[in-house]
Amino acid sequence: MKVVITRPRERASYFAKLLEDNGFEPILIPTLELVYKKDVKIDVDKYDWILFTSPSGVKGLYDIIDDKEKEKVKNKKIGAIGIKTAKAFEKYFGKYPDVVPKEYTAEGLLEELRKMINGDERFLIPTTPSTRDVLKNNLNADLFFVYTSEEPKDIKEKVEKLKEIIKEESKKNKRIILTFTSGLTARNFFKNADNELKELLKNQYIVAIGPVTKKEINKFGFNALTPKEYTIEGMLEVIKNLK
């Protein structure tokens, strides 16, 4: 069974390997390209907390700051949106975050933080300009753009080719599974899909990593299955059940 991965190419290999190990055929159609910033300065001394909403935010901050600033980061209170982001922070900075919510969403992280903070604490959020505003709007927080999420130049070409793949699978009475790991991956995919492809997709499976991504997919008239745990591994369990 073929499974389409729409996440950025540099973050797709792990998911692809999991799928292959479980008898699926991954098809990479990246709808995002991550471009990391360089030569951007930030004073971490001004902040009490640093919050991460993706592993890319962790990597982006780590690559920008010097060794002295990295040591300062370790002494800050750290929040991570989910287990993957928490493990990325531990990998790069050698410390596990102080707060990781049970529900891996910005809303879940905000709920946990409200149990711990006072009104005077300041937050730094290393992220991308396309980030959601949930944390920014509810905390005394500054966004620090350490990477951008851009559309790959070949996205239309790859999305167009997907139509032929679906048609070939349909001849064999098979469906494909389309996966999305963020609202932006879904948005970029569907805005590059023509009406013929959207019609073909009505008979395929769609799996979203969590409710926020599912909500974005709903805007385009499609529904998606979501895992109990909002991770790649959780998505794999849903996919295995479809097989």
Encode pLDDT of 1-29 as tens digits: 999 999 998 889 999 999 999 999 999 99
* pLDDT tens sequence across 156-215: 999 999 999 999 999 999 999 999 999 999 999 999 999 999 999 999 999 999 999 999
CA dist 20 and 3 (Å) reads 10
The pLDDT, as a whole number, for residue 132 is 84
Contact 165, 197 (CB under 8 A): no
**Percent of the chain scored above 70 by pLDDT?**
100
Average pLDDT over residues 86-99: 97
CA distances from residue 174 to 16, 111, 177, 197, 203 in whole angstroms, order as listed: 20, 42, 10, 16, 10
Classify strands 33-36 and 2-5 as parallel, antiparallel or unpaired: unpaired
Contact 183, 215 (CB under 8 A): yes
* Structural domains of the chain, with CATH: 2-30+152-242 (3.40.50.10090), 37-149 (3.40.50.10090)
- The whole-angstrom distance between residue 80's C-alpha and the CA centroid of its chain comes to 13
On the question of pLDDT at 120 being above 90, the answer is no
On the question of pLDDT at 118 being above 90, the answer is no
- The whole-angstrom distance between residue 98's C-alpha and the CA centroid of its chain comes to 21
Position 189, amino acid: F
Burial level of 23, CB count in 10 A (0-12/13-18/19+)? exposed
Size of the chain, expressed as the number of residues it contains = 243
Classify strands 141-145 and 177-180 as parallel, antiparallel or unpaired: unpaired
* pLDDT tens sequence across 228-237: 999 999 999 9
Does an H or E element contain 76, and which?
none
The pLDDT, as a whole number, for residue 198 is 96
Give the pLDDT band of residue 130 (cuts 50, 70, 90). Answer: confident
Q: Listing from the earlier edge strand, what are the strands of the sheet with 205-208?
A: 25-28, 2-5, 177-180, 205-208
Give the pLDDT band of residue 41 (cuts 50, 70, 90). Answer: confident
The pLDDT, as a whole number, for residue 35 is 92
Whether the model clears a pTM of 0.85, i.e. scores above it, the answer is no
Give the pLDDT band of residue 111 (cuts 50, 70, 90). Answer: very high
> Tokens standing for 145?
């753009």
The pLDDT, as a whole number, for residue 65 is 94
